[in-house]
Amino acid sequence: MNVREIPCRDLKKVLQKPWVDISRRPWISGDTAYVPVREGYPYTQALPERRRKGRGYQKIGSIIAFHGEKPDEEVISEIINRHNPETVIWYRGHRGVMRIPDINVLYGEISDTIHKESGILYHLNPAAVMFSQGNMEEKRRVAGLVKPGERICDMFAGIGYFTLPMAKAGGFVHAMEINPDAVYYLQKNIRANNLTSQIIVSPGDCRDHITGIYDRIHMGYYDAKQFLPVALQHVRSGTIIHVHGIGYNTREIREHLMTKGVTAALTHRVIKKIGPGKVHTVTDVVIT
């Protein structure tokens, strides 16, 4: 596939250009988009056709991480030639409440890496904590909604995937996280992005740490709706709650609101595909 590389932030503008082959999907890696070019137009790189059925791969710092089906030797060496990564891993899945990655190292050694996305540095070790590149647009969207000075609760902070962009947008974030490994990287990332004055970290179960009234509550966890009864005790009229989940879950969200006698306006959106017939969604709940 013939492509031109452009910064991700320019992707939306470029897609209207005559040289773009709209029949193919641009390939995103970090902050770079590889945009397919139509026959007869100049291009800068010819990417070999990807023969894999799997969900493809993503670049996390200096590490290439495959999802879906395990890549064969030929695909691995092609990727090594193209990206010259330090390590190549294959995500078999994520386990348990803490979403601990189940990985297989296919090349090199696994170690900490630094991933840069939308101007934010994320230190992490992909063998210890998850990293989903598919949430990039949603991180930008939510950060774009934050009003400077907001008091925000991030109930499932991880390594700061959403905590950091919301703080960078001017919010004061109370970040909670139950996985000690994720807390270690979260605190490292807060320092690395000079956000120590805007983020407080509460290691442990969010239900034990949520306190006071928040302008915004971020619930980035597929089972978030189970935690709504707790979150709804910390809202006022105008508070916005971002409830992540799998599929269409507004009925259950409405039931929790009804039980608490809270009224709200709901907006539901799909973030990304996570498997055959399965989508990662978020419902914005604006308390009235």
Binding interface with ligand SAM (CB under 6 A): 97-99, 130, 132, 135, 156, 158, 161-162, 176-179, 182, 205-206, 220-221
Q: Is 288 exposed, middle or buried (0-12, 13-18, 19+ CB in 10 A)?
A: exposed
Min separation Cβ 75 and ligand SAM, Å: 27
C-beta of 254 vs 272, nearer to ligand SAM: 272
Q: Residues near 167 by Cβ (< 8 Å), separated by ≥ 6?
A: 152, 173, 190, 193, 195, 198, 199
Q: State how far the Cα of 161 lies from the Cα of 228, in Å rounded to an integer.
A: 21
Q: What angle do CA 269, 155, 268 make, to 5 degrees?
A: 10
Our CB check for ligand SAM shows the closer of 43 and 227 to be 227
Query: How far apart are CB 143 and ligand SAM at their closest, in Å?
Result: 13
Instruction: Take residue 202 and report the two structure tokens written for it.
Output: 């509460």
Taking the complex as a whole, how short is the minimal distance between the CB of residue 136 and ligand SAM, in angstroms? 10
CB nearer ligand SAM, residue 201 or residue 262: 201
Q: How many CA atoms lie within 13 A of 129 on its CB side?
A: 26
The nearer residue to ligand SAM, 164 or 253, going by C-beta atoms, is: 164
Smallest distance from the beta carbon of 152 to ligand SAM, in angstroms? 12
Shortest CB 161 distance to ligand SAM, Å: 4
For residue 200, give both structure tokens.
């407080």
Give the residue at shortest CB distance from ligand SAM.
220
In this complex, which beta carbon is closest to ligand SAM, that of residue 132 or of residue 239? 132
Structure-token pair, residue 278: 């399965």
